[in-house]
Structure 1
Amino acid sequence: MSVPSEAASEVPAADHPSGRLFARAEFGADPARACHSLIRRLPAGTDAVAVRANLTALTERHPVLRGMQLFDEALDIDAGDRVAHRRRTREAGRAVNGAPVIARAVVLGYADGAADLVLVAHRRAVDRRALDQLATALADPAHPVTLPEPAADASPQHDGPPHLPWGLGDPTGAGRTGTVVLTATAVAGDAPAAVPVAATAVALARYGGTERAEFALITGGPAAGDAQRSVALPVGDATRVTDLLDAAAHAGATGCEPPSGMPAVGVLLPEGRAGDVYRPALAPVFPVTLAWQYDADGTLSGVLHYAEDVLDPVIAGQFAGHIDRLVEALAHAPAGARVGDIELVATGEAAAIVAAGRTPAGGDAMVAPVHELFRKVAAGRPDAPALSDPDRTLSYAELDARSDAVAGALRGHGVAPGNRVGVCLDRDADLVIALLGVLKAGAAYVPMDVTYPAERLVHMVTDSGARLVLSSAADFPVVDGVTVLHPSEVSCAGGEPILDPGGSADDIAYVIYTSGSTGRPKGVAVPHRNVGALLAATTTDFGLGPADTWALFHSSAFDFSVWEIWGALLTGGHLVVVPYFVSRSPEDFHDLLVQHRVTVLNQTPSAFAMLKEVDLRRSADLAVRLVIFGGEPLDVRMLQDWFRGHPHTRCRVVNMFGITETTVHVTSQTVTPQDVGVGSRSVGRAMPGWSVSVRDATGRVQPFGVPGEIYVGGAGVASHYLNQEELTAARFVSDPVTGERVYRSGDLGRLRPDGRLDHLGRIDGQVKVRGFRIELGEIRSVLLEDRNVTAAVVALGGDAGDAADVRLEAYLVPKHDDVSAEDIRRRAARYLPDYMVPATFTLLSELPLTINGKVDASRLKPATEAARTTPAAEARQPTDDPVLRVWREILGQHVGPDDDFFVFGGNSLLAVRLSGALRRAGLPPVSLRELYVHPTAAEVSALITGRELIEEPNGHAAM
């Protein structure tokens, strides 16, 4: 019988024997993943006729082998010919689909008299040991064959391959696969098989930022059946290499459960037999499969197979290179070596990764003090509108003159170059005049918001060393030795303008205070040259110029205002100051945008979410051509409605990651509808003159795709923290790779191979609730996917010192008035495990914002605490009910008899506490299972009442 052109196509039977991990791995209906193959040279004199007769004899002992096919073909070439090699290799790579065709044998005869047996089998029916036995028995039917026992497949159902956080796979790449050849390495020692297992563990631990690596390990050989194991190895920097290799040698040998769901990474480490060519799988068994092979001389080689929807080809090559590097290092580690001694990323590779995150500066450098740059613009556009508030509009010439007057007055009050001047003014034209005047006096401005509490203002004045403050507040706190002047006292002062205040671009332009971990704000000192570099990096790309009108939406104490003020005035644009109360009203702000035909709009995502809803309801046309997001992470999905009314071809939307310590912005990413569709988290490449890289906790460069702390270098890095030398030294560090000064941001990110940065939130964005590590951003993302939610924030509430009282709280802005919190909760529970479902869901008309436009966490209060019981409700709540009293003791006085324990903040730990409280009150305790069935105080009361009807000793019911 000749060899068929295609393998038989049969549907596999569900009741056939299976290995558990292999059964899990068979996603995507690809039988090649479940098949293995063997090529063996037949003994001299054994031909296809003999093999067929032997198969007939075997089927009498093993009826299941009746589902085996046998083909043969005589080739007119010798066995050593390259064509013969390609032919048997091709036959060894063609799968069978399973029952009734469980295996296929092909006998290839050659012109020189030699013959090869190519055996392909479905692993559910023929495991590794049985495959070897079957190959022997087809030449010698007396040889025993032991087929695996049928085993029920307890595999959970799943919807496709898992996700690797560092893999950067392309969802559109489903079905595409790739391979990377792993470097051959000579492995010595008595347990060489431990080396690739240990190398995989170290690589996954470094890539995952953990000290515990989990993956699947599949072994097998001619003398044993397949062993499929779930491996979880502890891999810390302090672990000795010898200990790791010992643990790897015994990985998953006993007491290990199979991995839950589809393992993302699997290691195939089969034993070979001299002369055989064995393929453990005809296609990758797992999305990332490391298939190793040991040769007779001890050389280890292998292939990395990967699915492109899980692993980007560049990342795959990088990962394979790191596996090679680790195998070599572990195989030849000196005595006493520890895992932390092994560098995953070589020096040259680290330099290349850092270079990928750097964007060279353009040729239009603006290296001069801010006020000098302004003078040049004003000289060229003296009559053009420069600054407006609700009461007036000033031309560039008028703004230049009035800020000159302020500068002269400040000099008259003793302000000298290098001093710091506090500015605490309402949002109007006087604010901008004052800031420019301070710079013209040669000083640095220290912006303070008028809504700040007195204690914070005193700290800022004292810490900055300001001896003079410009403020319109009558109750500005008194500080010894500090002069407080009203803007009217400096705006009309006489005297000649200060044409040359002295100083240079390296002098400090402003000091902005940001929150500090100690509870006290810390001052960030930013030089003039940084502001010029910011504008040089963005002006051409964004097309900024005299035709633009900007809105000054943000507080001057928030560094977004630096971009708004100087972005407008240093490019010849028109700056419109947005009064505070207008900034707090999306409707009024929308009116301002329409009235002034604002073209450049800068927003935090939280503020924009409310403005967007107003815009959707109105027909008035905006002139906005550029929207820039900053200040907090952007969930691009919120832009879907915006793009419908404002196509990205007419209104460019840019997501910018930035930090006060790096001069407002660091990266930029133009957002398109396509980005919205895939939920992109990219904040783009570094701006010209800036650089970004990602490091681990020790400062080592992370590979592409691997999360770590974002380091920022280049033109925007601030000078220092005011009066905090230790903190400055800890956060502004010298990069050992480049030697440049960089800032450790404290933000979590990952660098893509093309140099784009994904921002993943704060490093401290993880919380721990009842032993579970939780990313608040993940919960928020699920909530924002609800079509009834327009804005959301998730916070940690309760008593942080009481593990049972710690809870997740969700705050939501519903799209419609008839949306209920329970509906949103019910949907979230469909996508989140129980421990990640917030305990409270509070509906708000809008999210409270700080003066900087960020969510004000201090004003978030869950509904279960904010809501008070109405008198009518009190009448329905019997205070003499002992169960309800216990309920309120645990959850709070706001809880009623029909309120669900778990909806109102209960959890498994509080359930235990509730049971104990019932017992102390003289009531029967309830189990957690009973509480799930009867989750209200009223239902538990009824349950307890029913228990009281117990049998008395004589068998009669007690009444």
Structure 2
Amino acid sequence: MPRSQAASCHSLVVRLPGPVDAAELERRLRAGAAQAWPELAALRLWEEPLPFDAAHPAAASRARQEAERPLHATGLPLRAVLLRHRDGTADLVLVARHGVTLDGTSLVFGRADAAAGLPAGDRPTLEWGLGDPAAAGRTAEVPVPLPQHLPGDPALLAAATALVLARYGAGEPLDESQDAAALRARWEIDHGGPSTLAGIGVLVEDGRPGQWRLPYLAPALPGLLHFVRHPDGTVTGTLRHDRGDLAPAVAERFAAHVARVADQLAQAPDRPLETIELLAPEETERVLRLGVTPAVGSAEAAGRTLDGLFADVVRRRPEAIALTAGDTILSYAELDARAEHTAAGLRALGVAPGAMVGVALERDADLVVTLLGVLKAGCAYVPMDLRNPVERLRYTVQNAGAAVVVGSGDAFPDVEGVRVITPDALRSLGAGEPPAAPRPEDGSAPAYVIYTSGSTGRPKGVVVPHRNVAALIEATREDFGLDADDVWTLFHSSAFDFSVWEMWGCLLTGGRLVVVDYWTTRDTELFHTLLVRERVTVLNQTPSAFAQVVETDRRTPAELAVRLVVFGGEPLDVRMLAPWFARHSHTDCRLVNMFGITETTVHVTAHTVTPADVLAAGREVGPALPGWTLSVRDPRGRLLPIGAPGEICVGGAGVADRYLGLPELTAERFLTDPYGGGRVYRSGDRGRLRPDGSLDHLGRLDSQVKVRGHRIELDEIRNVLLSHPDVVGAATVLGHDTPGDAATARIDAYVALRGPAATADVLAHARGMLPAYMVPSTLTEVHAIPLTINGKVDTAALPAPSAAPAGQRAGDVPAGDAYDALTAQILKLWGHALNVDVTPNDNFFELGGNSLLVIRVLREMREQGLPKVTTQDFYRNSTAGRFIEVVRDAQA
């Protein structure tokens, strides 16, 4: 029966002493009801004899069963059933629509003023409820364990509910500096009438001996707290809820929290709300344990270095292939020897152990050799992407204090006091050096420093020790079945921490690492061909990149050998995996969604995705990895219960050392856990813990966003814009051409100008300081940045973004009908991808294009019968007119 039909009914059960005259009772029912409801003059009293006494538990069960049975939509507005017990007593069960007022004492009925007593409209949802959609419409009930001495003050009970919901992140936030009395004063509700608080109804009624009532046979809201004040002064309460909205375990804890908070409010009316404890000590301990996954593997690895662990693999498998990069193939022994020469070269340059060494190389064999060699020298590597702006490269090497950068002299900018040396020159320098004296392994020493986006307008360096990476490999080795038979790809930039997992996950488990050059990573067909040719078994991808692999795989008959796909870098919308599962069995190829952060060593959780997850469209990222810990906390750092959303805090083996040179920020984000257990990192990510210890990732709490795997602080972009002398105000927001389509995600920026500069000048300024993935796709000039009453940027008041900055689309162009067929076709393809009108003078990337949209355009060109163009040619000819000529030449 529909939930709304049950929600429109209420019921009353009255215990009648024997003997009961059914005919007289039926007459009284008809007479009382017909006064307000003439159609009830023909009301019938249904009888059912029961084979047990009234005291038998089955008697109460049968009465409840009858009381919970709603009326038929087309029937009378009242049903009456007499349940006769063996001892002569009986239960009278009255079920009526809310328009019928029930009074079991006088058996007189009237018309109710309101049909349901709760506001109509869209049914609210509970973000914290963790309900099961498959159980929607099924009602459950849990007791509210109120203490016996608690007064039945409706304001107290409503205030307790409001405070619990506020801690759960529902409803309006409360000023917790006020006291309990002030909160109670805010929630004076009418006795006997329902009140609605953030999706939960609160109803306080007076009970009568021998009666009990269900105010709603199914909750009109996700949950209803029904409190009854009894003649003896006690109060009882139940939480009646829909299992589609509230999981039973969450409902039970919510009811207990309301009772606990009500008790504290009643005992100390002048107590500040911030001192009210939501969780009892035993529940706190239970929730903390839920987020802990015990470490696995060898405890010895925690004290080892990555180069020391690599040396173990070299001793076991010296002749096995360690690395393939284009035409270069290196065995473990050869890779080790080249890295030793690199380390010797660093020693020859006077680089001392513990120093930071910059590495700015393309993805090739030299990159892997150099990173390993830096570690062998006892140093930490600082990877940099050569495609970043000069100013960002210069800032990174200066901030890290690196005196040596291994890179190409003509590609890396001049920095005073910094020597740039090529990998070949460094190895040659070290070829004549004597072997280094053995040194004790120190797993606590820094292994690398990766720079991430920072809200100050400058990136911040995260210092990660060897032991963290060693713990990550130990935590996943057995579960993922990582061994010497695996072939991995090094797909990601070394400046992106996903590469840490790719490189060391492979080399420390004896696998073969296939280094993917930059242009192959930008061409999904080339990359798919590489996967097939190299028989890759372990693939690591951001969801945005894998979406393109899925599309290419769908069109080609070539069989992949991939057995494990690991997702990271950005949230995964599991629905995108439906085409993959249609072709690949989840028992043959395991897909694992891993939530992670640079500051907690790449990965934190792991969840195996199945076709059932695709149907559920959930946001689960799994439990903590072995050795890692998870908890969810409120803005004051207090532990939150299961289901309640808050800030994800990560502890355990993966927590990084610090931010380089930023002690205040380090102290703010890396905390000594007040609940014990060492240090935790405040992630700034929003999530909720499930009853099984798994985590749901719910996005960011701050201005940080993920765009195609890159972590971006919107405030960093804003501060760069504000550094232009003619910009007096700036705002940045995340936009999408197509909602939910990660490939169309973009950064939209807005500026208020005071000088002669045009938006094109400001955009050029941003390009000189930001990496390409952080440069705004649109830059719109506004008179002033709109603000809310609280002084924050009012994003809802910002205008639609401009298609392209002023001055960027120069030159007269012919009307659309003046284009030849090929030009019109290409411009239409570009316009469809970019969601903007395109002219031959426009640059694809200046209009908001990105690598994923490049792949999409090239795919659509092939589907329309146009010749194949490589991604490299696209990037080199990114103005529409030049690109059209490339296509025209290919046609000829």
Q: TM-score range by the shorter chain?
A: 0.7 to 0.9
1:319 Cα deviation from its structure 2 partner? 1.1
**Which residue is equivalent to 1:164?**
126
In the superposition, the TM-score normalised over structure 2's length comes to 0.77
1:794, 1:122 → 2: CA distance? 55
Deviation of the 1:440 alpha carbon: 0.8
Alignment of 1:176 onto 2:115:
no
Amino acid at match of 1:463: N
In structure 1, the residue matched to 2:96 is 122
- Secondary structure at the aligned position of 1:122 is classed as strand
What SS class does the counterpart of residue 739 from structure 2 fall into? helix
Contact persistence 2:3–2:218 (CA under 8 A): no
Partner Cα distance (2:410, 2:191) in 1 = 73
Distance, in Å, in 2 between the alignment partners of 1:397 and 1:77 is: 84
The Cα shift of 1:393 comes to 0.7
The aligned residue for residue 331 of structure 1 is: 266
* 1:270-349 → structure 2 map (5 Å cutoff): 270-274=205-209, 276-332=211-267, 334-349=268-283
Does structure 2 conserve the Cα–Cα contact (< 8 Å) formed by 1:601 and 1:626?
yes
Aligned counterpart, 2:795: none
**Could you say which residue in structure 2 is the equivalent of 1:436?**
372
Q: C-alpha separation between the residues in 2 aligned to 1:513 and 1:402?
A: 27
- State which of 149, 161, 177 in structure 2 corresponds to 1:238: 177
Change (3 A) 1:678 1:587: same
Q: Which residue of 1 aligns with 2:687?
A: 749
For structure 2, the residue ranges without an aligned partner over 5 or more in a row are: 706-713, 715-731, 755-766, 780-800, 819-835, 840-892
Q: Secondary structure at the match of 1:208?
A: coil
**CA distance in structure 2 between the aligned counterparts of 1:80 and 1:252, rounded to whole angstroms:** 32
Offset at 1:680? 2.1
In structure 2, what is the Cα distance between the partners aligned to 1:783 and 1:601? 27
- The separation in 1 between residues aligned to 2:118 and 2:55, in whole angstroms, is 45
Q: Which moved more, 1:81-90 or 1:753-762?
A: 81-90
Structure-2 residue corresponding to 1:465: 401
Question: 1:211: Cα distance to partner?
Answer: 3.1
- Alignment-mate amino acid for residue 136 of structure 1: S
Alignment of 1:804-815 (within 5 A): none
Distance across 2 between alignment mates of 1:176 and 1:46: 34
SS in 2 for 1:864: coil
1:195 and 2:156 matched: yes
- The one-character-per-residue Cα deviations of 1:643-679 (angstroms, maximum 9, x if unpaired) are 2222212211111111111111111111111111111
Three-state SS of the structure 1 residue aligned to 2:111 is coil
- The TM-score normalised by the length of structure 1 is 0.72
Q: Deviations over 1:716-739 (max 9, x none)?
A: 111111111111111110111124
Matching residue of 1:269: 204
Which SS does the other structure have where 2:393 is aligned?
helix
Match of 1:69 in 2: 44
Give the structure 1 partner of residue 533 of structure 2. 595
Looking at structure 2, the residues matched to 273 and 781 of structure 1 have their Cα atoms a distance apart, in angstroms, of 61
Match of 1:858 among 766, 776, 795: 776
Q: Secondary structure at the match of 2:450?
A: strand
* 1:205 aligned onto 2:179: no
Deviation at residue 331 of structure 1 after TM alignment: 2.2
Please give the alpha-carbon distance, in whole angstroms, between the structure 2 residues aligned to 1:573 and 1:651.
18
Task: Give the alignment of 1:398-437 within 5 angstroms.
Answer: 398-437=334-373
Distance 1:694 1:627, change over 3 A: same
1:793 to 745, 752, 761: 745
Query: Counterparts of 1:782 and 1:574 in 2: how far apart (Å)?
Result: 39
Which residue does 2:78 correspond to in 1?
103
- Go from structure 1 to structure 2 and tell me whether the alpha carbon gap of 1:248 and 1:455 turns closer, same or farther (over 3 Å shift): same
**Structure 1 residue 340, shift from structure 2 partner:** 1.9
Structure 1, unpaired ranges of 5+ = 1-25, 139-144, 213-234, 769-774, 803-847, 877-892, 897-959
Matched, 1:711 2:649: yes
Identify the match of residue 523 of structure 1 among 461, 470, 474: 461
Q: In structure 1, give the amino acid aligned to 2:382.
A: V
CA–CA distance in 2 between the matches of 1:619 and 1:74? 70
Instruction: Please say if 1:481 is aligned against 2:440.
Output: no
Question: Do residues 147 (structure 1) and 111 (structure 2) align?
Answer: yes
Aligned residues: 756
Contact residue 865 and residue 894 of structure 1 kept, 8 A? no
Alignment of 1:384-395 (within 5 A): 384-395=320-331
Aligned counterparts of 2:61 and 2:468: Cα–Cα separation in 1: 63
Higher mean C-alpha displacement, 270-279 vs 176-185: 270-279
Inter-CA distance 473–639: structure 2 relative to 1 (3 Å threshold): farther
**Which residue pairs with 1:376 in the alignment?**
312
**CA contact 2:206–2:230 (8 Å) conserved in 1:** no
Does the 8 Å contact 1:662/1:743 carry over to 2?
yes
Report the 3-state secondary structure (helix = DSSP H, G, I; strand = E; otherwise coil) of the residue aligned with 2:254.
helix
Mapped contact 1:386–1:396 kept (Cα < 8 A) = yes
Q: In the superposition, relative to structure 1, how do residues 41 and 857 fare at CA in structure 2: closer, same or farther (>3 Å)?
A: farther
Q: Is the 8 A contact 2:544 2:742 kept in 1?
A: no
> For residues 739-793 of structure 1, what are the alpha-carbon distances to aligned partners after superposition, in whole Å with 9 as ceiling and x for unaligned?
411111111111111111111111126999xxxxxx999x979834xxxx68442
**Partners of 2:817 and 2:367 in 1: CA distance:** 56
When the two chains are superposed, the root-mean-square deviation of aligned CA atoms in Å is 3.8
1:727 correspondence with 2:679: no
How far has the Cα of 1:859 moved from its partner? Answer: 4.1
Contact 1:560 1:630 in 2 (8 A): yes
Amino acid at match of 2:155: A
Which has the larger displacement, 746-755 or 586-595?
Answer: 586-595
Deviates more, 1:88-97 or 1:590-599: 88-97
- Give distance in 2, aligned partners of 1:45 and 1:600: 78
**Matching residue of 1:359:** 293
Contact 2:192 2:206 survives alignment (8 Å):
no
- CA contact under 8 A between 1:75 and 1:110: conserved in structure 2? yes
Moved more, 490-499 or 533-542: 490-499
Match of 1:136, SS state, is coil
Letter in 2 for 1:404: E
The Cα of 1:856 is off from its aligned counterpart by: 4.9
Match of 1:136 in 2: 106
Residue type matched to 1:356 in 2? Answer: L
